[in-house]
Structure 1
């Protein structure tokens, strides 16, 4: 599903192009930037070093993602450009991240490679990637304070000229917050409902105090092992506040310790030597003239459009395509813009043209598949139409076996025509979520699939992390409603959500996960 964004055409932005556009491709990231090649390479290498450092500190070695499951980063420009792309007037936004299966996108300001503490826009990217990494290593949702505290802990990183990486430095970007914002107690951190009920609507120190507590529990000799024990109890179903009292003891005393900890002049951090950090080579490709011209269209499309802005974007895409009719990258972006604008036949034609020129353009298969699926919903012979719609996804699967979208759409090819998904289709959806555990909508689909199969425990274990996502909005509310119903469901009996949301009980947060 596309995300709404109200923006002016980036083609009309006042920021002039400064350099050639390049694509930097590494094991976990793809970066698009109009900057000097050596700066883009260094930026990509630092991000890979960051990933490796997180894996070392957490002792979590992840499998390398499939190519389309890497995080794609667009270097947009200045803060004004970020605000327009994000559709916000916020003066503090420095970048943002959109997690989607096969299409995770991050948008950041201009590259600023700094020795020592990173620029704020880089810190934002490191914070969001920490979330991405942590979600990929566990199926249990961290309490909000721990999730944000961990992300802040890792984002306070330094990439030094001697090849070392520092993790867990004091969070300098939270200094003013900790000094001047409304204080948040440890009890409020551990009890999210208490925190929400006592907020005054003003800027507070939630992020700063979360970082401080995570940092102290990581390095404190006196409290060694307590953070892991607390997290283990929460993962087993103990409410955060109860686990905190059981593991940490007197929370008022912990508050006082935390205050004293923040008064220290020096704090510990991890200093990882170059031989502790292994990264694969980064490849750099200069974009074609057409790909440079279509980049604004591509960024807006992949951020997401609404009905109105889709028309503006597709008009811009057509104008560029008229100048570069033989550029596969341009035609692929045109296919996406046409689909977003509701022009399925035009999207299919552009995708076919792109594939003819360059059969490796994976997004062309995606956009053709999207358009065929939408057309199949109105077809007289749905079975034949959905079978045909799966062809580009099957071709994409042949190009990249672990691309999550062919797996998702194989399952949807049954659901959208009202057929019972086959066993292979069920396995495909579960595998897709293994590949993209950061996609909350995918997690919702999988949880409901398990519930419909009567696998109530697996359904609840899948939906529970979604119910505690602090940024989930309506999805969080839906997950809580479904979990409330599932508490009364019987294992082995198929379950489907109630059609009357008003009568759905909310989840009892004290209920045991088993």
Structure 2
């Protein structure tokens, strides 16, 4: 049964073992790590039990992702390698949410202690966002989004399969003690922030965690967090919902002040029988992929023209040594595409598919290259029909892969044709499969608004506007929601400032050479 524990956490470190690259496959994750098979398997189990624990605690049903829509995690090595990859001195790990290609980058796998290395809190925090967005159809206020992620992130994983959730967020101790206070009213009303303006140096994150934790465990407040969430889902503003669910907010603020000063806090202990997981497989990658994975990591991180050419040189060298490895050739196809060499990308993808017709990345990269070539074709209709063939083959291999659905819709938009009903349904389905991809949700919401589906469009755009990291897209989505509030259901609507849908769609699969204001942390 579910138990409650009282604890003050302490961080511990474990020294990673050195090994060859391994790949772990589980229900929700793919992990690549240059660590021992035992450590990679343990890390994979921790993440799956973390997912199961969040599902149990929140009582949310989450659709199992298709294989290519799982989160792929690359353990890049030392902290020095991480900082070089991130291009920042202040990043312990980072994550990009993309339909059919969500990726996260973390340092070495350090799982033997049952408590993940401190840097892994970033991964758990971002995956909590990934889970909460994917399991909710309404836009959460920023405090609830960040407070929930902070609530789940300091998890612990004893060796018996148990998971401890709701542990003290010790990484917020200094903030709560020394940073300027955010009032309870500001906590409920604060939205995202504008990058470039600087993140406010106050206790918003710590206070959000504390409130989420308090409302979860305080007996006198039982059921109020759920009531608040239901009010938000019904359309109430955050401050109004807070007053309705929590009552006197000044009293709540004082209660929270006392709560954070306690030396012992409650948390959940979930035994393995409450959070069962499916089997995990771990394999050592081929010699060719062992050499190619450092190249792949740099590619997946995002490229500009200069880095794409550097990566391509390395990819060609590895591929020359392993011409019979389909995975290596698919990675070469990706590097050729990123460098702008469409014909070479198609040739490399075809070579991979000749060895193994089920290599999905080869189909994806061939489709990307054919689509880009189709933009310049004399007979656009025939060219885009041909460009859809790799995606159709991909759909046969994996019916719920979002990219074939997205590109079918795109095959109409990019040649200036009105998408048919099947194409429109395909885009909506892709957005359902990948609720964490805000660009995709933005495009689906605009499409629905053009069809006169005003209520559905506002619902689809809601999570985009509520992005806790703010950004241009969040501001635009909120403006569209506000404008749609004045539009009658059934009325076809377009935003006052026209959006180039081709650019929006292309951005879904674009790689970035620096952090996008709407992605990562």
Deviations 1:207-238 (A, max 9, x none): 11111100000011111111111111112121
Counterpart for residue 10 of structure 1: none
Using the alignment, how far apart are the partners of 2:242 and 2:306 within structure 1? 49
- Which TM-score applies when normalising by structure 2? 0.89
Are the aligned partners of 2:193 and 2:471 in contact in 1 as well (CA < 8 Å)? no
1:66 aligns with 2:66: yes
- Secondary structure, in 3 states, of the residue corresponding to 1:120? coil
* Cα distance change of structure 1 residues 488 and 164 upon mapping to structure 2, 3 Å threshold: same
Match 1:248 to one of 246, 258, 269: 246
- Counterpart of 1:335? 333
| Shift in CA distance, 201/67, structure 1 to aligned 2, threshold 3 Å | closer
* Aligned twin of 2:381: 383
- CA deviation digits over 1:402-456, x for unaligned, max 9? 1010011011111111111111111111111111100011001100110111111
Question: For 1:11-90, what aligned pairs fall within 5 Å after superposition?
Answer: 18-90=18-90
- The superposition leaves residues 30-63 of structure 1 with CA deviations (integer Å, 9 ceiling, x where unpaired) of 0000001101100001111111111111112323
Q: After superposition, what is the alpha-carbon deviation per residue over 1:235-288, rounded to whole angstroms, capped at 9, x for unaligned?
A: 212111121122212222111101111122221111111211111111111111
Structure with the larger RCO, 1 or 2 (CA within 8 Å, 6+ apart)? 2
Q: Give the match for residue 316 of structure 1.
A: 314
What is the TM-score when the length of structure 1 is the normalising length? 0.90
Distance in 1, matches of 2:269 and 2:214, equals 17
Moved over 6 A (4+): none
CA–CA separation in structure 2 for the residues paired with 1:186 and 1:80: 39
Q: Given that residues 182 and 202 in structure 1 are in contact (C-alpha distance below 8 angstroms), is that contact kept between their aligned partners in structure 2?
A: no
Report the 3-state secondary structure (helix = DSSP H, G, I; strand = E; otherwise coil) of the residue aligned with 1:497: coil
Q: In 1, distance between residues paired with 2:329 and 2:116?
A: 37
Deviates more, 1:209-218 or 1:111-120: 111-120
1:437 corresponds to: 435
Contact 1:321 1:334 in 2 (8 A): yes
Provide the rounded CA distance (Å) in 1 between the counterparts of 2:261 and 2:405. Answer: 52
After superposition, residues 326-405 of structure 1 pair within 5 angstroms as 326-405=324-403
SS at match of 1:97: strand
For 2:20 and 2:192, the matched residues in 1 are separated by 51
**2:192–2:468 CA contact under 8 A, matched in 1:** no
Structure 2 distance, partners of 1:477, 1:363, is 34
Task: Describe the SS at the equivalent of 1:106.
Answer: strand
Mapped to 2, the partners of 1:355 and 1:201 lie a distance apart of 47
Cα distance in 1 for residues equivalent to 2:96 and 2:172: 24
1-structure distance, mates of 2:103, 2:243: 39
The 1:194–1:173 alpha-carbon spacing in structure 2 relative to 1, beyond 3 Å, is closer
Q: Distance in 2 between matches of 1:285 and 1:103?
A: 21
Which residue pairs with 1:7 in the alignment?
none
Alignment of 1:116-265 (within 5 A): 117-192=115-190, 203-265=201-263
Q: Give me the whole-angstrom Cα distance separating, in 2, the residues matched to 1:159 and 1:366.
A: 36
Shift of 1:331: 0.7
Report if aligned partners of 1:146, 1:210 keep a CA contact under 8 Å in 2: yes
Is the CA contact (8 Å cut-off) linking 1:335 and 1:348 kept in structure 2?
Answer: yes
Q: Give the SS at the match of 1:496.
A: coil
Distance 1:17 1:166 in 2: 25
Is the aligned partner of 1:417 residue 2:412? no
Tell me the distance in 2 between the aligned counterparts of 1:100 and 1:200: 25
Does the aligned pair in 1 maintain the 2:93–2:107 contact within 8 Å?
A: yes
CA contact (8 A) 2:451 2:492 kept: yes
SS of the residue aligned with 1:298?
helix
Q: CA deviation at 1:194?
A: 11
Please provide the CA RMSD for this pair: 2.0
Q: 1:195 to 1:183 in 2, by over 3 A?
A: farther
- Specify whether residues 239 and 372 from structure 1 end up closer, same or farther in structure 2 by C-alpha distance, changes over 3 A only: same
What is the alpha-carbon distance in structure 2 between the residues aligned to residue 351 and residue 117 of structure 1? 41
Listed as ranges, the gaps of 5+ residues in structure 2 are 1-15, 500-521
1:195–1:289: structure 2 CA closer, same or farther, 3 Å change rule?
closer
- Tell me, yes or no, if the aligned pair for 1:396 and 1:406 is still in contact at 8 Å: yes
Q: Secondary structure at the match of 1:408?
A: helix
C-alpha deviation, 1:384, in angstroms: 0.3
